[in-house]
Structure 1
Amino acid sequence: MALTPEELQILQRIENQLKDMPFYVIEYVRSKKRAGLSPDTLLQYLYRYQHFFQWLLREGLTDAKDTPSIPYSVLAELKKENVELYLEYLKEESIPHEKESVKKRGQAVVALSVNALKSLFNYLTKETEDEDGESYFYRNVMSKIVLHTKRETASRRAQKISSVILNEHEIHDFLQFIEHAYEATLASGLARHRFNRDKERDLAILSLFLGSGIRLGETARILVKKINLKKQLIDIKRKGSKEDTVRVMDQAIQHLKAYLDIRESRYPGSNDVPFLFVTLYGGTVRPLSRRAIENLVTKYTAAFAQGEGMSPHKLRHSFAADFIRNGGSIVLLRDQLGHSNIETTSLYTNLSNKDNEQVLTRMTENRLKQVNKERQ
């Protein structure tokens, strides 16, 4: 299995983090890697565990001298009150920040910490096995922890998303802008040179997001040999290392073909790189990183909007909204986007308010007609 330089770096960071972890966390990570949990998620979880164990040491909730020495019996004996105090600490802890004197953690980081701990405790109480064939312990204090988040309707969430995506006309105009007008916005000759070198590649990336709805990580991991231009299909790796095949719109296929035609001549040595999207760094060809893809999407969308740029995920939203607008079913969209839960996909049925507006307009017109009839 080919790994991008980013993925190799993440795996190395995981190994470095494991050097300062108790044995049962090491077992957990090995088990979850075999089960297909993404290395990126595991690394984020390890950062949260490190923070949690350091808190246990500072609060005197363990007699251990350091993190690797903390026995799982400490976790088995934790009270609900202890965990709630830790969550309060997470929310209130001041974090050094370059621009702000005091910065607090957002709800997303707190939720990540809770999910990480729930996953670890579930493993320790259900999946482990000691010499007697029993789990390490059975009392799961994390099962008592409920994280209350702000609730909003699907319609409300859709309204927020729809305000920052490209509509059906803008999708066309955006790609036309990159192809025919973007170069004129560049002030320096070096910037124009780099744009012309990367134009086919960047158009292929942007068109692929808008013509298939695939994720950023999935895009970065596409292998050249997994592309079928004739059938307009690409084999990709979804979350959890799940293999899938995604269908791609004709325009994106045409942009991919144009890029593949110039790939080796524009990026010498790229034939030896299995990943589709590449760049030159110090004269050496290498896979384009997720961060680089994200940055180029933000750059181009900011130039198009003459304001704030958009993320690859917003382009995914744009594709999904256009899919529904053009009569696509929610089941087909679920499969296209690679969602495991159709409830996630159902959000996009609320992204276009045109039908709703048209119904309300007809209702208003009919009521006025009825009033006029009664007056006559």
Structure 2
Amino acid sequence: MTVTKHRDAISLLEKVQSFPWYVEKYVEHKKSKKSSPSTLLGYLRDFEYFFRWMMAEGLTAATEMKDIPLEDLNDLKKESVESYLIYLQESHLYERNVFLTKPTKSAKKEYSDRTIARKISSLKSLFYYLSALAEDEDGESYLSRNVMAKIETNVEEITPLARAHSIRAKILIDEEIQRFVHFVYEGYLAFCDTKRKQLHHLQNRDRDTAIVALILSGGFRVSEIINLNLSDIVLEKNQLKMIRKGKKEDAPFFSDWGKAYLVQYLENRGKYKPAEGEEAVFLALSPTKPYGHRIELRTVQKFVKKYGKAFGMPDLSVHKLRHSFATQFLRLNPDPHQLQAQLGHSKIDTTMQYAHVLDDALSQAINRTTSYKE
């Protein structure tokens, strides 16, 4: 065994321990087929990316990758996996904070079609093993259904209209945007069936509403919001200073109505008892810490899911809030280049997916084209 293979074998033994037991079974199976340690490490990287995305999207209740049960893979819907494809095509900045243990070159640019196809191929291999090759002590397959069998590996076959259809059912449009923001602040109280839940909501509703309103009024990534410091806010210009993908400095805008919620939160930020010199804009309280501390990304993801479910949109997530802003922007301001700058996209093609979300405009254009008099 070469030095490189020996090193990869050791890394494989260490890394696989952070995965669910069924991934360890898969690795043992691939070893029996003479797969190299380097190849298996590549599989694990792809699995880790997908599992952490599942946790971020609320598709599993597990908070540690190792604890994701087989049932959550069995229950995955085709639409969810298609959303993962969309995510890969965008390649967000916050993947470096949530999904990757170390920043990689691929985290600084959008993934190529070939890379996306490889990531999906890795998942197809795992799901095929779990549904068709592996069996438990009763001789039953680990998975009763294989959602990955329904996914096209060639991502170029997923058209912008197909991606748009997947997005449309899970986002807020027009008056739904303001209705949801109001629901977070006021309407959710009706779902607090205990005094403890009521007090918790009243404690955090200014903060939660401000975060939701900022994303919906500026299209920011959740990592950009939680990493904000007080000195990054330029209220008089409705701007937020931030470092975006590729370590680019930027100062995107937010709306006046979003500003109103931000100001209201800032006026009440002291209730979190921040330590002297604490610069984080958005804070959280913890029983183990005497002072308010910077809110964690997982906390935001969880409360957006909570509010979305109560609102009647269980698929709503922080990323879908960003989708909502982008779609509404193009609905009212048909300039994708302006939206590209606001969202921090490196490619206009990524921005253009939102142009297809509202197919009512396309339908009207078709009707105008075909409703002529002979």
TM over 0.5: yes
Letter of the 1:345 partner, please give it.
T
Letter of the 1:366 counterpart: Y
The 8 Å contact of residues 209 and 315 in structure 1, kept in 2 or not, is answered as: yes
Asked if 1:285 corresponds to 2:292, the answer is: yes
What number of residue pairs does the alignment pair up?
Answer: 277
- Matched residue, 1:98: 69
**CA positional deviation for 1:58:** 7.3
Change (3 A) 1:285 1:145: closer
* Cα separation, partners in 2 of 1:294 and 1:120, compared to 1, 3 Å: closer
Amino acid at match of 2:286: Y
Give the 3 Å change call, closer, same or farther, for CA 145–159 of structure 1 in structure 2: closer
Match of 2:149 in 1: none
Q: Relative to structure 1, is the Cα distance of residues 60 and 335 closer, same or farther in structure 2, using a 3 angstrom cutoff?
A: same
Aligned counterparts of 1:320 and 1:121: Cα–Cα separation in 2? 26
Which residue number in structure 2 is paired with residue 219 of structure 1? Answer: 225
* AA at the equivalent of 1:260: L
Rounded Cα–Cα distance in structure 2 between residues aligned with 1:242 and 1:149: 31
For residue 53 of structure 1, report the CA deviation from its aligned partner. Answer: 11
1:5 aligns with: none
Q: Which runs of 5+ in 1 are unaligned?
A: 1-20, 27-43, 68-74, 76-82, 123-142, 371-376
The Cα of 1:54 is off from its aligned counterpart by 9.2
Q: Contact conserved, 2:215 with 2:321, CA < 8 A, in 1?
A: yes
Runs of 5+ consecutive residues of structure 2 not aligned to the other structure? 1-5, 48-65, 92-99, 107-113, 119-152
For 1:303, the aligned partner's letter is A
Q: Which residue is equivalent to 2:363?
A: 357
Amino acid at match of 2:356: N
Aligned alpha-carbon RMSD (Å): 4.3
Q: What code does the residue aligned with 1:294 have? A: Q
- Give 1 or 2 for the bigger CA radius of gyration: 1
**What is the CA deviation profile of residues 289-336 of structure 1, one whole-angstrom value per residue up to 9, with x for unaligned ones?**
00001111111121112x514111100000000100112411110110
1:152 Cα deviation after fit: 1.1
- 1:316 and 2:287 matched: no
Which residue of 218, 235, 242 corresponds with 2:241? 235
Deviation of 1:252 (Å): 1.0
Matched-pair contact (CA < 8 Å) for 1:209–1:316: yes
1:259 CA displacement? 0.6
1:96 and 1:301 map into 2 onto residues whose CA distance is 25
Identity of aligned pairs, percent?
Answer: 25
Which letter does structure 2 place at the counterpart of 1:279? A
The amino acid across from 2:243 in the alignment is K
Contact 2:273 2:292 in 1 (8 A): yes
TM-score by length of 2: 0.62
Which of residues 281, 300, 303 in structure 1 aligns to 2:307? Answer: 300
Instruction: Tell me by how many angstroms 1:98 deviates.
Output: 2.8
Q: Which residue in the other structure is 2:204 paired with? A: 198
Supply the distance in 1 between the matched residues of 2:116 and 2:354 (Cα, whole angstroms). Answer: 31
Q: Give the secondary-structure state (helix, strand or coil) at the position aligned to 2:292.
A: strand
TM-score (norm 1): 0.62
- Superposition deviation, residue 253 in structure 1: 1.0
Q: How far apart, in 1, do the equivalents of 2:356 and 2:246 lie?
A: 28
CA contact (8 A) 1:299 1:309 kept: no
1:163 equivalent to 2:134? Answer no
Structure-2 separation of matches of 1:178 and 1:101? 28
